[in-house]
Amino acid sequence: MIKNFAKFVFGLTVVAFTSAAPAGITAAQYIPSDGDSGYGVGDSIFQAAQTFVSNQTGDVEEVQFLLLSNSTIPGSLTATVTDLVAGEPGSTLGSVTVLNPVFPPLSNEEDPDPFWFAFDFNGESIGLQSGTGYAIILSTPDGIGIRGDLPGSYADGKAFITSNSGSTWNGVDGGMTDWGFQVTVVPEPTSAALLGFGGLLVTRRRRCRR
**3-state class (DSSP) for residue 67:** strand
Domain positions in the chain? 22-189
For residue 36, what pLDDT is reported? 54
pLDDT at residue 202, as a whole number: 45
CA-closest candidate to residue 185, choices 2, 79, 27: 27
- For the chain, 210 residues long, the average pLDDT of each consecutive 10-residue run is 38 37 84 64 66 97 91 88 96 96 78 88 96 95 81 92 81 88 88 44 50
Backbone torsion region of residue 161, taken as left when φ is above 0, otherwise alpha when ψ lies between -120 and 50, otherwise beta? beta
Residue 118's pLDDT is what? 97
AA identity, residue 204: R
Look up the pTM and report it.
Answer: 0.77
User: d(Cα 39, Cα 42) in Å, to the nearest integer?
Assistant: 9
**Cα angle, residue 78 at apex, residues 62 and 72 outer, rounded to 5°:** 115
Of 193, 210, 203, nearest to 22 by C-alpha is 193
Any idea which fold 22-189 has?
Jelly Rolls (2.60.120)
- Cα–Cα distance for residue pair 140/76, rounded to 1 Å: 6
Q: Which amino acid is at 162?
A: T
Length of the chain: 210
Picking from 207, 200, 184, the residue whose alpha carbon sits closest to that of residue 55 is: 184
Q: Please tell me the predicted confidence (pLDDT) of residue 28.
A: 98
